[in-house]
C-alpha cells in the first residue's frame, strides 16, 4: 500500500492512494508555541439506494478524528490516540543511532514491538525481533535528476496493514524528528 503525500511538509498534507483517494489528512496550524498536529482518517460513506436527494453529500469524503500530536520543545511531546494521552518519552524507547537521530522503538496495539530507524534519506519501520521484517518505509520525492520524477510516499507492507493508523501517527512524529536533526546538521 502506497500513501502519497501531496506536499513536502508531512505535518500539513494529505496521504492518498495512487488513484487520488485521500485516506488521511494531517494539519498543523502555525503557532509559535502550542502547536498541535491533527490526523484525520477517511470514514467510508454509507450508501442509501432509496434516496438520491442526498447524493452529493454521499459522494464526498467524510473524515473522523484519529490522533493528535502536541509538540513540546522542552519536555516530551504528547500523542492522543484512541482515548489515550501518551507521553512520547513513555511511548518510545530510544536506542542505537542513525545518521539523523536515535532509533525509536514502541509497542503497538497488537502487542509487538516495532522500531523506526532514522536513515540518511528517510525513516523505515521494522518489527523489532530476530526477523527484522520491514513493515513501512518512507520514500522521499525525486525531481528526476538521477531517477524518475516521483512524489513522496509512505509505503506500508502487508505485515503492517493491520496497524496502519499507528504507522501513520508514529511516522508523522519520527519524520519530524529526523528532518529537524537533518536541518540542524546542515
Q: Which residue has the higher pLDDT, 128 or 183?
A: 128
**Residue 14 or residue 122, greater confidence:** 14
- pLDDT tens digits for range 152-178: 899 999 999 999 999 999 999 988 888
* % of the chain residues with pLDDT over 90: 41
Q: Is the pLDDT of residue 33 over 70?
A: yes
Q: What is the mean pLDDT of the chain?
A: 84
- Written as nine digits, the cell of 100 is 539523523
Pick 185 or 75 by higher pLDDT: 75
CA-to-CA distance for 126 and 131, rounded, in angstroms?
9
Question: Higher pLDDT residue, 16 or 56?
Answer: 16
Q: Residue 177: which of 83, 88, 47 has the closest Cα?
A: 88
pTM: 0.84
End-to-end CA distance of the chain: 32
CA distance 168 to 38: 12
Residue 50: pLDDT over 70 = no
Write the pLDDT tens digit of every residue in 127-138.
998 888 999 999
Percent of the chain scored above 70 by pLDDT? 85
The whole-number pLDDT of residue 55 equals: 44
Locate 76 and state its grid cell.
516530551
Residue ranges per domain, the chain? 2-185
Torsion-angle region of 23 (φ positive above 0: left; ψ -120 to 50: alpha; else: beta): alpha
Amino acid at each position: 500500500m502506497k500513501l502519497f503525500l501531496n506536499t513536502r511538509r508531512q505535518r500539513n498534507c494529505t496521504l492518498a492512494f495512487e488513484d487520488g483517494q485521500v485516506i488521511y489528512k494531517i494539519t498543523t496550524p502555525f503557532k509559535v508555541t502550542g502547536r498541535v498536529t491533527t490526523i484525520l482518517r477517511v470514514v467510508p460513506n454509507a450508501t442509501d439506494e432509496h434516496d438520491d436527494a442526498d447524493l452529493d453529500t454521499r459522494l464526498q469524503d467524510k473524515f473522523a478524528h484519529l490522533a493528535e500530536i502536541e509538540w513540546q520543545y522542552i519536555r516530551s511531546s504528547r500523542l492522543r490516540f484512541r482515548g489515550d494521552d501518551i507521553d512520547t518519552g513513555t511511548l518510545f524507547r530510544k536506542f542505537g543511532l542513525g545518521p539523523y537521530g536515535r532509533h525509536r522503538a514502541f509497542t503497538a496495539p497488537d502487542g509487538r514491538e516495532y522500531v523506526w530507524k532514522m536513515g540518511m534519506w528517510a525513516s523505515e519501520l521494522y518489527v523489532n525481533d530476530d526477523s527484522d521484517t520491514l513493515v513501512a518505509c518512507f520514500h522521499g520525492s525525486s525531481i528526476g535528476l538521477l531517477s524518475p520524477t516521483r512524489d513522496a510516499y509512505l509505503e506500508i507492507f502487508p505485515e503492517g496493514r493491520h496497524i496502519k493508523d499507528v504507522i501513520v501517527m508514529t511516522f508523522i512524529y519520527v519524520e519530524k524528528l529526523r528532518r529537524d536533526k537533518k536541518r540542524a546538521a546542515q
